[in-house]
Amino acid sequence: MKRIASGVRFLAILLAVFGILPPTRDSQAQSTTDGAVGGTVTDQSGAVVPNASVAAKNLGTGSSSAGTTDGSGRFLIIHLQPGTFSIEITATGFAGFKATSITVEVGRVTGIDATLNVKAQTETVVATAEAPVITTDRADLTSNINDISINNLPINGRRWSTFALGTPGAVPDGGFGLVSFRGVSGLLNNNTVDGGDNNQAFFAEEKGRTRISYSISESSIREFQVNTSNYSAEYGRSAGGVVNAVTKSGTNRMHGEAFWFYRSSDFGAFNPFQTIVPRPPAPSTPIPVKPEDKRHQFGGNIGGPIIKDKLFFFFNADQQKRNFPGVANASSPAAFFAPITVAAPTTCTPLPPATLTEGQTLFCRGITQAQTDQALGFLQSLTGVVPRTGDQLLLFPKIDWNIDAKHHLSLEYNRMRWSSPAGIQTGGVVFRGQESFGNDFVKDDTAIARLVSTLTPTMINEFRFQYGRDFEFENTQGPIAGEPVSFKGISPQITISGSAGIVFGKPNFLDRRAFPDEHSYELADTFSISRGKHLFKFGADIIRFHDLNDNLFQESGAYTYSKRVDFISDYVAAVNNFPQPACTTTAPGGTPVPVPCYSNFNQGFGPTAFEFTTLDYGLFAQDDWRILPRLTLNLGLRWDYEKLPDPQIPNTLLPATSGFPSDKNNLGPRAGFAWDLTGRGKSVVRGGYGIYYGRIINSTISNAITNTG
């Protein structure tokens, strides 16, 4: 507690110190949702022009922001919604200056250096200034993916965050769509959309995880920024990379688009490693197979004014229809489909060790040829083509309201529904029975309200609220004809190992009635103020995650057979109501005792559902200080704290299970510099140091709650 108080006192001291500095506009800008314009105003002789008025107008919405140059002729206008702007600069004794088509991107400052002429009429400069390729005012390593790149770069699946792989320091993390920055686990990244948390706390991935196609439509995303390293204290809850996305909005001009993408396996080549083996009596030579996979992705959006310059709407709809049937097969088809001829051996007693054929073993267990053929027919019915689809629907309405010249309110809602019968197993050929693929479903809902208030020309406040629900659940398919089931009509998982390997029945990890059902609530506030050569930012955020996890591993039991003949023996005994099992073991004294033929059985017991709550707190202070015209220092301090729940089933024999440790001293200093070598924005030397804290993922907390020894 002492360390927390020290951190809060330190932030208070920063506020007090920064508050006494004289105000101007020259500093740098960084934001999770907005951009900025800045530059220097001079006259024809090269002398700086102080106290010049600068106005930035959003050409899409008509909203305006204003500022003035300081004693060094520099200006900075922050918290501009990404888009296209016009810039007007006026000063006493000079002709006006106007630049059009100025692009503002998220998290960046677009530079505008103006020269004012001494003459009576306004000079209009037709300019198409883009955000800088190289940022010379920040220590962090960032890359921006704008709408042009999103619309034109090729991508498989339309998951917009995959474009992050095209940025420096980013590589795939495993085969399920995660991204690693600087070699750090993809579970330690942070993903935000319009400033709101876009992470699932339970598995530390994007909402919806990576089995779905995407949780937010690519057509809803205007642009996003990838922060790879040395990022400011504004960004927390991450030791890897930070991805900030902003969505599209309506403007004064009615606009929209429609799209349809079709991808088919008919257009692809054969994979030489994707093969199947025909059933006997056909030759057991592997032959190439090209699994069917046809995907339609279609939708559109529209945006425009409700009240010109005042109220705007945007709506996007996105749907996917995918048909990708799978093939259920055994790992060794030749052995699995091999026929069995039941025949009498020379002797069954005493039972010779491993000298009997499968047919002789079955004969000695009292199983006939007809019963054997019945069991083989059932096993063969487990294989074949499995119908499998992956369909989803996304809806995204958004309202932007310029309440007045000083207040802007944004309201948005994202709805995603994913349904994939037999879609848990996604491989082309799966070594499971037809009824053992598992059904996958996801429901995602996110609502964000964001209010930006310009308190004075040098003081801006942003308040944000978000509610989200990420509900993921999976269940089993129904049993096939002839499959033994329990009194509840459910087949346990059955594994036949050895040379004829296959797994069928209800998978041992199902049902997952909630895995998880996660509700999140976020409150955040950021205050920005320009003072002297500084841009200060102070902020606080709190996120409440409530997780329900309803799943019991092996709740329906799991049998393992080391050989095919052992399963056949138990199968025949079950479906024919044998009075006793077919296998025997020797009891003490040498008496043979009938026993089932499986080699192992596991059963899960106990409560199936656990729910708990975590609270994430964050405080930060950031100072971007332009100490020299070509040298900028980025200084900050952040405090993160994750409040863990209390244990629910403590083990009295293990005192350590009665409570979780609480780490309250997560103070993360950030310090960096950016030096413009030539002053022309062509070359920059940057460096930085920071301490970053990733959160403890909630699945780890869940394991600690349930696995108490």
pLDDT for 565: 94
pLDDT for 564: 93
Do 453 and 532 sit in the same domain of this protein?
yes
Do 487 and 539 sit in the same domain of this protein?
yes
- Mean pLDDT of the residues in the chain: 88
The answer on pLDDT for 639 being more than 70 is: yes
Which one is predicted more confidently, 268 or 492?
492
Mean pLDDT across the stretch 249-262?
96
pLDDT for 207: 94
* Beta carbons within 8 Å of 648's beta carbon, 6+ residues apart: 610, 612, 705
Do 416 and 536 sit in the same domain of this protein?
yes
Mean pLDDT across the stretch 621-625?
95
Flag whether 170 is in a domain: no
pLDDT band of 591, cuts 50, 70, 90: confident
Location of structure tokens 């429901």: 443
Which one is predicted more confidently, 132 or 414?
414
Mean pLDDT across the stretch 695-709?
87
pLDDT for 351: 55
How does DSSP assign 155-213, residue by residue?
A: -SS--GGGGGGGSTTEEEETTTTEEEETTB-GGG-EEEETTEE-EETTTTEETTTTTSS
The answer on pLDDT for 414 being more than 80 is: yes
Which one is predicted more confidently, 586 or 307?
307
Phi (first) and psi of residue 33, to 5 degrees: -130, -15
Mean pLDDT across the stretch 348-361?
75
Q: pLDDT tens digits for 134-180? A: 788 888 888 999 998 999 988 888 999 999 999 999 999 887 888 99
The answer on pLDDT for 357 being more than 60 is: yes
Sheet containing strand 97-104, edge to edge, reads 64-68, 53-58, 83-90, 97-104, 123-125
Do 82 and 35 sit in the same domain of this protein?
yes
How does DSSP assign 354-404, residue by residue?
A: T-S-HHHHHHHTT--HHHHHHHHHHHHHT-EEE--B-EEEEEEEEEEEEEE
> 50-64, 310-324, 407-421, 432-446: which range is least confident on average?
50-64
pLDDT for 413: 98
pLDDT for 407: 95
Phi (first) and psi of residue 441, to 5 degrees: -140, 145
The vertex-462 CA angle with 305 and 692, nearest 5°, equals: 125
CA distance 474 to 476: 7
The answer on pLDDT for 492 being more than 90 is: yes
**Nearest-CA neighbor of 631 among 688, 690, 684?**
684
Rg for the chain, CA atoms, rounded: 32
Mean pLDDT across the stretch 362-373?
94
Do 659 and 686 sit in the same domain of this protein?
yes
pLDDT band of 651, cuts 50, 70, 90: confident
Residues 62 and 41 sit within 8 Å (Cβ to Cβ): no
pLDDT for 93: 85
Helix (H, G, I), strand (E, B) or coil at 574: helix
Residues 237 and 390 sit within 8 Å (Cβ to Cβ): no
pLDDT for 648: 86
Flag whether 447 is in a domain: yes
Torsion of CA 166, 172, 177, 178, to 10 degrees: -100
Flag whether 537 is in a domain: yes
In the listed set 578, 598, 618, which residue is the last one of a domain according to the structure?
A: 598
Residues 125 and 132 sit within 8 Å (Cβ to Cβ): no
Do 543 and 580 sit in the same domain of this protein?
no
pLDDT for 9: 43
CA distance 151 to 354: 65
Please measure the distance between the N-terminal and C-terminal CA atoms of the chain and give it in whole angstroms: 30
CA distance 307 to 125: 30
Torsion of CA 16, 22, 28, 29, to 10 degrees: 60
Residues 87 and 112 sit within 8 Å (Cβ to Cβ): yes
Half-sphere exposure of 211 (CA within 13 A, CB side): 25
Which one is predicted more confidently, 537 or 26?
537
pLDDT for 126: 57
Residues 445 and 413 sit within 8 Å (Cβ to Cβ): yes
CA distance 701 to 354: 48
pLDDT for 120: 59
pLDDT band of 585, cuts 50, 70, 90: confident
CA distance 342 to 356: 11
pLDDT band of 3, cuts 50, 70, 90: very low
Classify residue 591 as exposed, middle or buried by CB count within 10 Å of its CB (0-12, 13-18, 19+): exposed
pLDDT for 590: 76
Total structural domains in the chain?
Answer: 3
pLDDT for 546: 98
% of the chain at pLDDT higher than 90: 60
User: Quick one: CA dihedral 206, 209, 214, 215, positive or negative?
Assistant: negative
Residues 223 and 169 sit within 8 Å (Cβ to Cβ): no
Flag whether 416 is in a domain: yes
pLDDT for 493: 96
Do 675 and 692 sit in the same domain of this protein?
yes
Pairing status of strand 429-430 against strand 439-456:
unpaired
pLDDT for 86: 92
pLDDT for 130: 65
Flag whether 681 is in a domain: yes
Q: pLDDT tens digits for 561-581? A: 999 999 999 999 999 988 888
pLDDT for 125: 57
Which residues is 538 bridged to in the sheet? 527, 621
What domain range is 450 assigned to? 396-555+605-706
Flag whether 367 is in a domain: yes
The answer on pLDDT for 409 being more than 90 is: yes
pLDDT for 706: 84
CATH number at residue 42: 2.60.40.1120
The vertex-490 CA angle with 487 and 495, nearest 5°, equals: 120
In the listed set 109, 125, 141, which residue is the last one of a domain according to the structure?
A: 125
Mean pLDDT across the stretch 341-350?
84
Do 364 and 503 sit in the same domain of this protein?
no
Backbone φ/ψ region at 366: left (φ over 0), alpha (ψ -120 to 50), beta:
left
Mean pLDDT across the stretch 75-99?
89
Mean pLDDT across the stretch 576-595?
86
Pairing status of strand 534-551 against strand 512-531:
antiparallel
Instruction: Enter the tokens of residue 598.
Output: 């499986």
In the listed set 573, 598, 623, which residue is the last one of a domain according to the structure?
A: 598
Do 480 and 611 sit in the same domain of this protein?
yes
> 134-138, 392-396, 673-677: which range is least confident on average?
134-138
Phi (first) and psi of residue 218, to 5 degrees: -55, -30
Do 418 and 344 sit in the same domain of this protein?
no
pLDDT for 655: 80
**Nearest-CA neighbor of 184 among 595, 699, 705, 694?**
694
Q: pLDDT tens digits for 167-220? A: 999 999 887 888 999 999 999 999 999 999 999 999 999 999 888 899 999 999
pLDDT for 13: 41
Do 584 and 621 sit in the same domain of this protein?
no
CA distance 150 to 60: 20
Residues 460 and 453 sit within 8 Å (Cβ to Cβ): yes
**Nearest-CA neighbor of 233 among 553, 537, 642, 454?**
537
* Beta carbons within 8 Å of 619's beta carbon, 6+ residues apart: 7, 8, 11, 539, 540, 638, 639
pLDDT for 218: 95
Whole-structure pTM value: 0.88
Q: pLDDT tens digits for 497-534? A: 876 789 999 999 999 999 999 999 999 999 999 887 89
Distances (CA, A) of 540 to 26, 189, 543: 24, 19, 10
Do 368 and 463 sit in the same domain of this protein?
no
Amino acid at 168: P
Instruction: Enter the tokens of residue 133.
Output: 């390729």
Flag whether 661 is in a domain: yes
Distances (CA, A) of 295 to 264, 271, 321, 383, 441: 6, 19, 6, 24, 18
pLDDT for 25: 36
Buried b (16+ CB within 10 A) or exposed e, 443-453: bbbbebbbbbb
CATH number at residue 427: 2.40.170.20
Which of 558-567, 659-668, 672-681 is most confident?
558-567
Flag whether 117 is in a domain: yes
Number of CB atoms found within 10 A of residue 689's CB: 10
